[in-house]
């Protein structure tokens, strides 16, 4: 069963864009996931094909109309379509690895990309959209957010990553940031590789990596470290 992504956007030509390269591109060719692009403007009603209007109450910018967006969403819904409808939005729940992992286990996603000042609140309610944010900054549109989400999901789909294990040890999967990584050459501009990593002692290597992951997380992300210390493990119910 392949992961079915539908993206609703005013800029369908932006897709697959960077997702056509590397891991996600190969997976797309292999049919591990599929990508359908829907031009929101195709659902405009007037001859100017307008999709937006001025904000009620005044103020700068334009807002995406609820009727046009609702019709675009409804055009993607077939009988029994259980895919979550996700609106990329700076007001949404922060995108986490646990969220991405849950999504990757499901049938796919309908991703709605806002533009301008955002979308009319009523379509969010009426179509049960889940708002998801990729971080505390403002993008000019949801398209890059949708790409970030798809990139994160697709690499988790079975058959996409060569070494399935490398997904497991990564930052956030353990609740900790990752330990430092090294490779050849043995000496680089006067810097060596920590001795323990070349000792061949797997127990010591594992202990060193865990200690480094804890040290780095404590220093850089005290918020994550507090959750880790409290026994929180991502993917076990919480996100």
Q: Which is nearer to ligand SAH, 91 or 219 (CB)?
A: 91
Alpha-carbon distance of 82 to 127, in angstroms, equals 13
Is 114 known to sit in a ligand binding site? yes
Q: Which is nearer to ligand SAH, 139 or 205 (CB)?
A: 139
DSSP conformational letter for 179: P
Stretch that binds ligand SAH, among 99-107, 140-148, 151-159, 204-212 (CB under 6 A): 140-148
CB atoms within 10 A of CB 118: 19
According to the binding rule CB under 6 A, does residue 151 interact with ligand SAH?
no
Alpha-carbon distance of 23 to 3, in angstroms, equals 15
Q: Which residues contact 137 (CB under 8 A, 6 or more apart)?
A: 90
Is 203 known to sit in a ligand binding site? no
According to the binding rule CB under 6 A, does residue 12 interact with ligand SAH?
no
According to the binding rule CB under 6 A, does residue 141 interact with ligand SAH?
yes
According to the binding rule CB under 6 A, does residue 28 interact with ligand SAH?
no
Alpha-carbon distance of 174 to 169, in angstroms, equals 7
From first CA to last CA, the distance across the chain in angstroms is 25
Among 12, 90, 106, 107, binds ligand SAH (CB under 6 A): 90
Is 136 known to sit in a ligand binding site? yes
Q: Which residue number has the CB closest to ligand SAH?
A: 114
Is 231 known to sit in a ligand binding site? no
Alpha-carbon distance of 131 to 95, in angstroms, equals 10
What are the CA-CA distances from residue 1 to residues 107, 159, 163, 193 (Å)? 8, 12, 21, 43
According to the binding rule CB under 6 A, does residue 9 interact with ligand SAH?
no
Tokens of 17: 């864009």
The least CB distance from residue 166 to ligand SAH, in Å, is 27
Q: Which is nearer to ligand SAH, 89 or 217 (CB)?
A: 89
Alpha-carbon distance of 167 to 171, in angstroms, equals 9
Among 65, 101, 115, 127, binds ligand SAH (CB under 6 A): 115
According to the binding rule CB under 6 A, does residue 111 interact with ligand SAH?
no
Do the strands 3-9 and 85-94 form a parallel or antiparallel pair, or are they unpaired?
unpaired
Residues at the site binding ligand SAH, with contacts judged by CB under 6 A:
88-91, 113-115, 117-119, 133-135, 137-139, 141-142, 145
Q: Which residues are annotated as a binding site?
A: 114, 134-139
Q: Which residues are annotated as a binding site for S-adenosyl-L-methionine?
A: 114, 134-139
């Amino acid at each position: 069963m392949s992961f079915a992504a539908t993206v609703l956007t005013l800029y369908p030509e932006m897709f697959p864009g960077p997702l056509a390269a590397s891991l996600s591109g190969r997976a797309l060719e292999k049919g591990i996931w599929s990508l359908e692009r829907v031009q929101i403007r195709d659902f405009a009603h007037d001859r100017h094909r307008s999709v937006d209007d001025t904000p009620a109450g005044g103020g700068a910018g334009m807002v995406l109309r609820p009727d046009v967006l609702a019709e675009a969403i409804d055009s993607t819904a077939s009988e029994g379509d259980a895919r979550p409808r996700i609106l990329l939005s700076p007001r949404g729940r922060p995108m986490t690895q646990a969220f991405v992992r849950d999504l990757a286990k499901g049938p796919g996603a309908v991703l709605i990309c806002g533009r301008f000042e955002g979308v009319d609140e009523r379509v969010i309610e009426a179509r049960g959209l889940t708002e998801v944010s990729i971080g505390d900054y403002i993008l000019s549109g949801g398209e890059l957010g949708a790409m970030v989400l798809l990139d994160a999901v697709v690499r988790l789909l079975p058959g996409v990553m060569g070494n399935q294990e490398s997904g497991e040890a990564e930052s956030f999967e353990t609740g900790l940031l990752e330990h430092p990584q090294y490779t050849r050459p043995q000496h680089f501009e006067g810097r060596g590789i920590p001795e323990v990593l070349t000792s061949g002692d797997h127990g010591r290597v594992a202990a060193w990596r865990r200690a480094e992951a804890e040290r780095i997380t404590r220093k850089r992300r005290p918020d994550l470290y507090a959750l880790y210390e409290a026994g929180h493990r991502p993917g076990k119910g919480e996100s």
